[in-house]
Amino acid sequence: MPQKQDVLERLRSSVINGDEGAVRLATHEAIDSSIDPIEIVEKGLIPGMAEVGAKFERMEAYLTDMMMSADAMKAGMSIVLAKIPGEKIRRQGTVVLGTVKGDIHEIGKNILSALLTAAGFDVLDVGCDVPASAFVEKAEEVGAIIIGASALMTTTLPGQKDIVDYLNSTGKRGKYSLLVGGGPTTPQWAKEIGAEGYAETATDGVKLALRELEKERRK
Amino acid sequence: MITYLDVIRGIHTGRICSERDFDLKTFAPKLRELLKAHDIKYDPENPVPADDGLADDLWKAAKDFYCDVGTYCLDTERIVQFDENEIAQTLKTAPREFTFGEGKQRKLLTQRRPEDRTPPWCFLGAGGAAVSSEENLLRLVQGYASIPVINSLTSPALTTVDGMRIVGGSPLEIYGAIRAVGLARQALSRAGKPGLPIMNCISTASSAIATIAASQPQFGLRPSDGWLCGTLAEMKVDYGVLSKGAYLLSWGANVCSETAPVLGGYAGGPEGTALVNAAYSILGTVIQKASYQLSFPIHSNFQCNTARNTLWAISLSGQGIARNASLPVFMLGYMASGPMTEMVLYETAAWVIAAVASGTHIEAEGVCKATHVDHFTPMEPGFAAEVAYAATGIKRSFANELVKTLLSKYEDKIKDAPIGKRFGECYDMTTGKPSEDYLRLYSKIKKELEDMGLEFKY
């Protein structure tokens, strides 16, 4: 029987290496070794992803590394969740993330998505060129606490305000924190439209999400 | 030779592939493999490397990369690829000279080489940043056009029409684009340069429909201007980009292959960013039939390209392209800081010296990351042009020392760079002249550069 620490370390390393096959193998091995599924997640999968996030911030890892690690982590997570109810796994919360209508730039959003995953959030990426209603409908569907909207052009910035307007018109404004980012977005614009926060970088976006999560937990 | 219709055929018949698979299973592994095989390594001690072998290696790697990876079309979810011989033939037979402008401002654009004694083409202005009013656009463009060595204009973008914020895809975008074109032409006339080409058409338009609508000759644009047709990160196109190209090429207009690899994104670190930037030169010729490449590698954390590793990527890819490609390449600088700060002039000097010594032309420039409305003035591109002329003909080794000295003055401040002043706070809006304070600041920094050994031509 392999040592528990060895298995968890192998799991963590496989996530860091973005090796989905190795993560699946190690996850099954961990389960077969009767390691507590919550430990598999909290001492294997999540720390692996967190390490990749930290490497990105040091510019030792990049977007594709993070995406492959996120895929690998999710593969392991899906195996674990089949064994235990999802509520037993402590997650940070769910974020709906997308690029607003008329805009197809998404690299910044993708970086943020990977960093939020690394920080323990569940991220639903609704893609790009997304109308305001679609952000809100997805947030309702998945029980999100945060909506993140990216815009890379001055002409598509209004799409971020559209989300605020849609939330107000449907009486749902108080349910979600709206965080905005992307090239032409500024703190002044975020304040003007009534967004909860503005992130200049993906790293700032994670800090904001954690701040909003804390506010939500104190409610 | 690969024609534009061959490209269009290719986006509808090429290998089917999801975007995610293209990014993670085609693009990323090939990039990693070629960087290792060609031993391309970032050297922080030499932000302006002087190694022709390394530059040529980078170009070889970029060619291999492009031949293998191809170009991804988002709308058809297919990869358009051509074989190595077709690509080589297309590159060999591609035009090498392109004419811009009219009358006294008409000029031929060709490729430069590293350490070239010919000054770079100075494509000057706002880098497409946004203004709050039509009056500001007029005053700014007149100011840019008054820069003595300007060869073409990069016009600001309007944000409103009659007080209504311009929304992409709406009629306001078309109105805004048409107005911006008319205003820019009017301002160029006021400056006595009616024939000056506008090479960032159309900054107020984001969609293909607005670009094409506002490009109609009755609104002021001519085939001798230049249109930005932006690729998407990384190595991707869509119907919008290609539709603009279809219209412009049919008119005989100049297409710009606008490319902005993200350092930290799919292109990875500085080595990958440099390789991808060079590969874009090939995409620009083969796919877009471009007259020029406008490149601005961007740091994902800093949203500028004056950080040390981004300057290295700019310099090395610039050298690789300049030494091997026929498509003239411009580097566009994005400063972290804003007007009326020492930092903006240090950043400007650093990237311009790196770019010019590496053999590229310059577009100057995005100030304050081009994110703050009205936070840019004619001083910054004007200073960039002076530095560009001073840096013409200098050795890369000297450029390297200058850039390292300049980096020491600002690189630890990039993350919290000062946004500086708005246009109206450091310029007289009636006369269009800079304030005395800004002139003093400019003179101080210029003197510092002279003391470092840079000889200004004017």
Q: pLDDT tens digits, residue range B194-205?
A: 999 999 999 999
For B13-64, what is each residue's pLDDT tens digit? Answer: 999 999 999 999 999 999 999 999 999 999 999 999 999 999 999 999 999 9
Nearest CA in chain A to B373: A184
| B71, part of any domain | no
| B92, part of any domain | no
Residue A152 at interface with chain B, using a CB cutoff of 8 Å: no
How far apart are the CA of A147 and the nearest CA of chain B, in angstroms? 21
Residues B96-115, mean pLDDT to the nearest whole number = 97
Q: Are residues A148 and A77 in the same domain?
A: no
- Domain hosting residue B261, numbered range: 98-451
For B397-429, what is each residue's pLDDT tens digit? Answer: 999 999 999 999 999 999 999 999 999 999 999
Count the domains in chain B: 1
Residue A111 at interface with chain B, using a CB cutoff of 8 Å: yes
- For the entire predicted model, the pTM comes to 0.94
Residues A6-14, mean pLDDT to the nearest whole number = 95
| B73, part of any domain | no
For B314-347, what is each residue's pLDDT tens digit? Answer: 999 999 999 999 999 999 999 999 999 999 999 9
Confidence of residue B126 (pLDDT cuts 50, 70, 90): very high
Cβ neighbourhood burial of B270 (10 Å; 0-12, 13-18, 19+)? buried
Give the C-alpha distances (Å, rounded to integers) separating A184 from A36, A151, B406.
Answer: 47, 7, 27
| B112, part of any domain | yes
Residues of chain B with C-beta less than 8 angstroms from the C-beta of A165: none
Residues 6+ apart with CB under 8 A from B122: B147, B149, B150, B151, B152, B361, B362, B364, B381, B384, B385, B388
Q: Are residues A166 and A83 in the same domain?
A: no
Residues B80-98, mean pLDDT to the nearest whole number = 96
Which one of A58, A88, A118 terminates a domain?
A: A88
CB-CB under 8 Å, A62 with B264: yes
Q: Are residues A182 and A196 in the same domain?
A: yes
CB-CB under 8 Å, A154 with B157: yes
| B91, part of any domain | no
Nearest CA in chain B to A160: B167
Q: Are residues A205 and A112 in the same domain?
A: yes
How far apart are the CA of B322 and the nearest CA of chain A, in angstroms? 28
Q: Are residues A106 and A81 in the same domain?
A: no
A residues 84-103 near B, CB within 8 Å?
101-103
Which one of A42, A66, A88 terminates a domain?
A: A88
Q: Are residues A211 and A103 in the same domain?
A: yes
- Mean pLDDT, chain B, rounded, equals 97
Residues A150-174, mean pLDDT to the nearest whole number = 95
Residues A53-71, mean pLDDT to the nearest whole number = 93
Nearest CA in chain B to A104: B232
Confidence of residue A2 (pLDDT cuts 50, 70, 90): low
Neighbour count for residue B361 (Cβ, 10 Å): 28
Q: Check residue A186 and give its pLDDT.
A: 92
Q: Are residues A109 and A189 in the same domain?
A: yes
- pLDDT score of B180 more than 90: yes
Of A44-53, B77-86, B340-349, B379-388, the poorest mean pLDDT is in: A44-53
Residues A71-100, mean pLDDT to the nearest whole number = 87
Residues A93-97, mean pLDDT to the nearest whole number = 96
Q: Are residues A82 and A63 in the same domain?
A: yes
**Residue from A28, A110, A32, A30 nearest A68 by CA:** A110
Distance (Å, whole) CA B332 – CA B330:
6
Structure tokens at B3: 């024609």
CB-CB under 8 Å, B266 with A63: yes
Residue of A52, A67, A69, A155 to mutate when probing chain B, most B C-beta within 10 A = A155
Count the domains in chain A: 2
Q: Check residue A217 and give its pLDDT.
A: 85
Distance (Å, whole) CA B84 – CA A127:
34
**Residue from B7, B2, B4 nearest B80 by CA:** B7
Q: Check residue B20 and give its pLDDT.
A: 94
Neighbour count for residue B130 (Cβ, 10 Å): 27
How far apart are the CA of A31 and the nearest CA of chain B, in angstroms? 29
How far apart are the CA of B304 and the nearest CA of chain A, in angstroms? 11
Distance (Å, whole) CA B144 – CA B190:
11
Q: Are residues A75 and A13 in the same domain?
A: yes
Residue A131 at interface with chain B, using a CB cutoff of 8 Å: no
Q: Are residues A83 and A184 in the same domain?
A: no
Confidence of residue A92 (pLDDT cuts 50, 70, 90): confident
| B2, part of any domain | no
Residues B302-306, mean pLDDT to the nearest whole number = 95
Q: Check residue A88 and give its pLDDT.
A: 67
Q: Check residue A83 and give its pLDDT.
A: 83
Residue carrying structure tokens 């982590």 = A73
- pLDDT score of A24 more than 80: yes
Q: Are residues A207 and A100 in the same domain?
A: yes
Confidence of residue A33 (pLDDT cuts 50, 70, 90): very high
- Domain hosting residue A99, numbered range: 93-218
Q: Check residue B400 and give its pLDDT.
A: 98
Nearest CA in chain B to A64: B266
Of A67, A105, A186, the CB nearest to B371: A186
- pLDDT score of A131 more than 90: yes
Which one of A42, A70, A88 terminates a domain?
A: A88
Q: Check residue B134 and give its pLDDT.
A: 97
- CATH number of the domain encompassing residue A46: 1.10.1240.10
**Residue from B453, B338, B449 nearest B395 by CA:** B453
Of A34-48, B64-78, B207-221, the poorest mean pLDDT is in: A34-48
Residues of chain A with C-beta less than 8 angstroms from the C-beta of B166: 154-155
Q: Are residues A139 and A212 in the same domain?
A: yes
Q: Check residue A91 and give its pLDDT.
A: 76
Nearest CA in chain A to B232: A105
- CATH number of the domain encompassing residue A100: 3.40.50.280
- CATH number of the domain encompassing residue B312: 3.20.20.460
Residue of A17, A107, A162, A193 to mutate when probing chain B, most B C-beta within 10 A = A107
- pLDDT score of B392 more than 80: yes
Residues of chain B with C-beta less than 8 angstroms from the C-beta of A62: 264-269, 272
Of B165, B205, B269, the CB nearest to A59: B269
Distance (Å, whole) CA B325 – CA B96:
9
Q: What's the gap between Cα B194 and its chain centre?
A: 23
